[in-house]
Amino acid sequence: MDRVRTAPGGVRASARVLARGDGRGGTVLPVLEGDGPLAVRRTRGSGAEARVMLVGAMSGPLGGDHFTVTARAADGARLSVGSAAATLALPGQDKAGARYDVRLGVDEDAELNWLPEQLISADGSDLRVTTSVDVASGARLLLREEQVLGRAGEEPGRLTSRLTVRIDGRCVLDQELACGPGAPGGWDGPAGLAGHRAVGQLVVVRPGFATGPPAARVFEEGAAVLPLAGPAALVTAVAPDALRLRRLLDGALASLD
Amino acid sequence: MTRAALLVLADGRFPAGGHAHSGGAEAAVRAGRITDAASLESFCRGRLHTSGVVAACVAAAAALGVDPGQLDRAADARTPSPALRVAARRLGRQLMRAARATWPSPELDALASRFPKGAHQPVVLGLAARAAGLGPLDAAYCSLYEGVSGPATAVVRLLGLDPFDATGVLARLSDDMDRVAQEAVETGERVVTDGVDVLPARSAPLLEIGAEAHAAWAVRLFAS
């Protein structure tokens, strides 16, 4: 608990995961640690894969909190990270916004599936998320992000989420979504979300995309498969709610195989 | 610095091919999301603060002399839709032809030979502004204005919207354009010292999805 500091602003907490291939076709976790509201647990994986669950994310982040999660799949590791529940951004007593930073790395010959549950932006909250992924050439990545604007029937809080993906040091995706009260004008208009309350992204990096990228297409009107300028594809989707968003993303992902 | 050159570059009749593109408005009209002046304004405001601000920052940085290759890659990373990347390069190639004929410059020649299939339009716009003796603020204004006047003009044709109403929309966006143009210059100056990662990356989900839907139509009035 020594890295938890409750400065006047809020809680600072971090979690770290490092996965390595064990040389015998399995994956070990030499680093698996979290503090305060960020706990990490190894759960049963299948085959060569190690599966990790982020637990307890329901308790925040509140205004003023700063969470950092770092995960790296190295040396042929197969790592899959999920979360036990949705993350709920809530207003804090502190007027300052909250931050949630995710730093991911995937080495050559390794694979990372980053599949947390939704991020829900509750009324009055103010959260800035940054997700930055460094992928080596030859590595595989599946990353899912889902943002839900407000709990049922509730106005959303302020949410800014930036997603950056580098392959072999070269940036292939840099995009930021800003929504909620105080976001730049037009965020909920015909160019932005047009009243949709769930928005999500999948990033898929596969070495095979270098020679055979998936075709760009629209998937059931609310989603599009977008081959990026590199061996990667983005699926971007909007939906009225979290359930329909997940269905769209799952369907679009299945269509890549 | 010459104010007249700014008018030449910003003029909708400057032969750079922009009139063939709706900036996503055709897809939004078909989807029923733009139906009148109010929804057009909301569309344009959303565009201005997402792909618009990104383009303006790229144009300002190019006008300040930042390496066009780096800016072009940064624009690619901020344009996940392949249909929009193709449109941006096509517009870049057309602007390149017009700009080289209007303001001959070794920098434009070098860019043209480096990107024979076209660089992203804001990169070319920034270098065209330099060639015309204009600065980063001019480049940012040109980029922003074009980014909203294109959809406004397109919607006059697509919906039969009263041109006075469409022009009123553009006038009501002036304050936002002034603010964003200043921001773009400040960002462009930071790019000179800190590199292209400081460029903004704001995105509009329905512009990306709509662009792919639009590209798949068999018949359409506008190229994008």
Please give the DSSP secondary-structure letter assigned to residue B202: B
Q: What percent of chain A has pLDDT over 70?
A: 95
- Supply A149's token pair: 């604007």
Nearest chain A Cα distance for residue B196, angstroms: 10
Angle A131-A137-A141 (CA atoms, 0-180°, nearest 5)? 45
Q: What is the pLDDT of residues B192-212, one digit of tens each?
A: 999 999 999 999 999 999 999
Q: What is the mean pLDDT of residues A181-206?
A: 97
For residues B92 and B121, is the Cβ–Cβ distance under 8 A? yes
Which residues of A, range 189-228, sit inside 8 Å of B by Cβ? 189-194, 196, 199, 216-218, 221-224, 226-228
In chain B, which residue's Cα lies nearest the Cα of A173? Answer: B77
Residue B49: list chain A partners with CB under 8 A.
184-187
Q: What is the pLDDT of residues A58-109, one digit of tens each?
A: 567 888 889 999 999 998 999 999 998 899 999 887 778 999 999 999 999 9
Which of A141, A143, A91 is CA-nearest to residue A120? A91
Q: What's the pLDDT at A1?
A: 36
Please give the DSSP secondary-structure letter assigned to residue A84: S
d(CA B71, CA B196): 7
Q: What's the pLDDT at A4?
A: 41
Q: What is the mean pLDDT of residues A108-121?
A: 96
Residues linked to residue A6 through DSSP beta bridges, in sequence order:
A11
Domain ranges of chain A: 5-254
**What are the backbone angles phi and psi of residue B100, rounded to the nearest 5°?**
-65, -35
Q: What's the pLDDT at A5?
A: 43
CB contact (8 A) between residue A192 and residue B206? yes
Q: What is the pLDDT of residues B61-118, one digit of tens each?
A: 999 999 999 999 999 999 999 999 999 999 999 999 999 999 999 999 999 999 999 9
CB contact (8 A) between residue A176 and residue B202? yes
CB atoms within 10 A of CB A144: 21
In chain B, which residue's Cα lies nearest the Cα of A172? Answer: B77
User: Within its chain, how far is the Cα of B210 from the centroid?
Assistant: 17
ipTM above 0.90, yes or no: yes
d(CA A204, CA A190): 27
Q: Calculate the alpha carbon distances from B75 to B4, B39, B54, B68 in Å.
A: 29, 27, 8, 10
Of A64 and B169, the one with more pLDDT: B169
In chain B, which residue's Cα lies nearest the Cα of A194? Answer: B33
Q: Compute the mean pLDDT over every residue in chain A, rounded to the nearest whole number.
A: 92
Q: What's the pLDDT at B195?
A: 98
Domain ranges of chain B: 21-212
Q: What's the pLDDT at A47?
A: 81
Of A219 and B209, the one with more pLDDT: B209
Characterize the bridge pairing of strands A5-7 and A140-149. unpaired
A2 pLDDT exceeds 50? no
CB pairs under 8 A between A and B: 129
Nearest chain B Cα distance for residue A176, angstroms: 4
d(CA A223, CA B113): 37
Q: What's the pLDDT at A11?
A: 86
In chain A, which residue's Cα lies nearest the Cα of B54? Answer: A175
Q: What is the pLDDT of residues A38-67, one digit of tens each?
A: 899 999 877 889 999 998 755 678 888 899
Q: What's the pLDDT at B17?
A: 86
Sign of the C-alpha dihedral, residues B127, B130, B131, B134?
A: positive
Please give the DSSP secondary-structure letter assigned to residue A79: E
Neighbour-count burial for B47-58, b at 16+ CB within 10 Å, e otherwise: bbbbbbbbbbbb
Q: What's the pLDDT at A61?
A: 81
Q: What is the pLDDT of residues A135-154, one digit of tens each?
A: 999 999 999 999 999 998 89
Q: Which of the residues B209, B214, B217 would you substitute to probe the A interface, choosing the one with the greatest number of A C-beta atoms within 10 Å?
A: B209
d(CA B167, CA B152): 8
- Which residue carries 């800016």 as its tokens? B71
Q: What is the pLDDT of residues B103-132, one digit of tens each?
A: 999 999 999 999 999 999 999 999 999 999
Q: What's the pLDDT at A16?
A: 97
Q: What's the pLDDT at A57?
A: 52
B36 pLDDT exceeds 80? yes
Classified as helix, coil or strand, A68 is strand
CB contact (8 A) between residue B203 and residue A175? yes
CB contact (8 A) between residue B206 and residue A229? no
Letter for the amino acid at A159?
L
B21-212 homologous superfamily: Urease accessory protein UreF (1.10.4190.10)
Residue A147: list chain B partners with CB under 8 A.
none
d(CA A45, CA A42): 8
Letter for the amino acid at B131?
A
